[in-house]
Amino acid sequence: MPCSLPRIMASPSALPGLGANAKPIGTAVLPAFRNRDIATALKIRVIEWARSNGVVTLWTASGSPPMIRINEKPGFQRTATEVRLVRRLVA
């Protein structure tokens, strides 16, 4: 299989069922199969699956330009920007 289907993560308070808000995580396509709209198709499949399972809002976050494009194509909208902070613990 050239790809992994994004999984759906829902907060425990949203259970039973998936509840109103859920987050698809972990999209990946093997390098030899990239740029053929596979990840886009997977994302659309997740949206359809979530809608038919009672999810009202999907949310996601990414620093990957291709992944941001893949999310925006089927309608995800930018809401906020996160600043990531790192503290190195070794010299």
Ligand X SMILES: CC(C)(COP(=O)(O)OP(=O)(O)OC[C@H]1O[C@@H](n2cnc3c(N)ncnc32)[C@H](O)[C@@H]1OP(=O)(O)O)[C@@H](O)C(=O)NCCC(=O)NCCS
| Token couple for 53 | 């399972």
Q: Contact between 71 and ligand X (CB under 6 A)?
A: no
Distance CA 78, CA 24 (A): 16
Among 39, 46, 50, 58, binds ligand X (CB under 6 A): 39
Q: Which stretch binds ligand X (CB under 6 A): 13-21, 49-57, 66-74, 78-86?
A: 66-74
DSSP string covering the chain, please?
Answer: --EEPPEEEE-GGG-SSS-SEEEEE--EE-GGG-SSSHHHHHHHHHHHHHHHTT--EE------HHHHHHHHTTT----------------
Q: Which is nearer to ligand X, 7 or 51 (CB)?
A: 7
Q: Contact between 62 and ligand X (CB under 6 A)?
A: yes
For the bound state, the minimum distance from the C-beta of residue 59 to ligand X, rounded and expressed in Å, comes to 14
Q: Contact between 36 and ligand X (CB under 6 A)?
A: yes
Residue numbers at the binding site for ligand X (CB under 6 A):
26-29, 34-40, 62, 64-67, 69-70, 73
